[in-house]
């Protein structure tokens, strides 16, 4: 069966309040305007997401909600996963292996999300910029079957590509 994974790095965050911890930093103005654009891009894939799993860090939650609104995904259905904050590759694997749905988005942070994408794909992926999205497809019966280089890159999307009109929103 065909399984699909979207790995999303949170949108650009604010550093304007030095009293906030890294975990509590919200999106900045640019991040808040860019996340819906990437949501529109995801909507136009035609891939209906069954599950969105996000880090509980404020910027990741905000990114998830803004994308969810664009793809008509119920906000209350977003799965909050505290372990995705500063997650290692193994944490991503463990979370994904517990999933039953076939089309999943995971919203997280670098360097973990980038490391996980490199591990999943035999072809080069990319350095994950903020709000970057990689769509990876798998031929599996369940998520427990993922292994190194088991994924195929379907698309790489960055805001730079959208702004330079290399891809259509």
**Residue 34 belongs to domain with CATH number:** 3.40.50.1240
Does the pLDDT value for residue 158 go beyond 90? Answer: no
Confidence of residue 127 (pLDDT cuts 50, 70, 90): confident
Structural domain contains residue 169? no
Alpha-carbon span 11 to 35, nearest angstrom? 6
Does the pLDDT value for residue 169 go beyond 90? Answer: no
Number of domains in the chain: 1
Give per-residue pLDDT as tens, 86-99: 999 999 999 999 99
Alpha-carbon span 48 to 101, nearest angstrom? 11
**Residues ≥6 apart with Cβ < 8 Å to 41:** 133, 157, 162, 167, 169
Query: Virtual CA dihedral for 98, 102, 107, 113, nearest 10 degrees?
Result: 80
Does the pLDDT value for residue 167 go beyond 60? Answer: no
Alpha-carbon span 71 to 63, nearest angstrom? 13
Structural domain contains residue 40? yes
Whole-number pLDDT of residue 9: 97
Helix (H, G, I), strand (E, B) or coil at 55: strand
Structural domain contains residue 112? yes
Does the pLDDT value for residue 165 go beyond 90? Answer: no
Structural domain contains residue 155? yes
Query: Per-residue pLDDT averaged across 152-167, rounded?
Result: 76
**Residues ≥6 apart with Cβ < 8 Å to 165:** none
Give per-residue pLDDT as tens, 49-108: 999 999 999 999 999 999 999 999 999 999 999 999 999 999 999 999 999 999 999 999
Structural domain contains residue 41? yes
The DSSP output letter for 19 is T
Alpha-carbon span 106 to 23, nearest angstrom? 17
Whole-number pLDDT of residue 78: 99
Q: Are 108 and 9 in contact (CB under 8 A)?
A: yes
Query: Per-residue pLDDT averaged across 6-19, rounded?
Result: 96
Q: Whose CA is closest to 132, among 153, 147, 113?
A: 113
Whole-number pLDDT of residue 122: 79
Structural domain contains residue 120? yes
- Could you list the residue range(s) of the whole structural domain that residue 72 is in? 2-163
Average pLDDT, the chain: 93
Helix (H, G, I), strand (E, B) or coil at 86: coil
Does the pLDDT value for residue 110 go beyond 80? Answer: yes
The DSSP output letter for 145 is G
Confidence of residue 159 (pLDDT cuts 50, 70, 90): confident
Q: Are 125 and 142 in contact (CB under 8 A)?
A: no
């Amino acid at each position: 069966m065909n399984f699909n994974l979207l790995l999303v790095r949170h949108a650009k965050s604010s550093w304007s309040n030095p009293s906030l911890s890294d975990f509590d930093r919200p999106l900045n103005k640019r991040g808040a305007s860019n996340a819906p654009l990437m949501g529109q891009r995801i909507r136009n894939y035609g891939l209906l997401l069954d599950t969105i799993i996000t880090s509980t860090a404020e910027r990741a939650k905000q990114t998830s909600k803004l994308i969810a609104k664009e793809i008509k995904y119920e906000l209350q259905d977003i799965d909050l996963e505290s372990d995705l904050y500063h997650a290692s590759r193994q944490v991503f694997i463990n979370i994904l292996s517990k999933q039953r749905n076939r089309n999943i988005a995971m919203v997280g942070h670098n360097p973990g999300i980038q490391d996980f994408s490199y591990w999943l794909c035999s072809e080069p992926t990319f350095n994950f910029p903020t709000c970057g999205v990689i769509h990876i497809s798998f031929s599996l019966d369940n998520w427990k079957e993922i292994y190194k280089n088991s994924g195929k890159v379907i698309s790489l999307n960055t805001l730079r590509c959208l702004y330079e009109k290399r891809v259509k929103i």
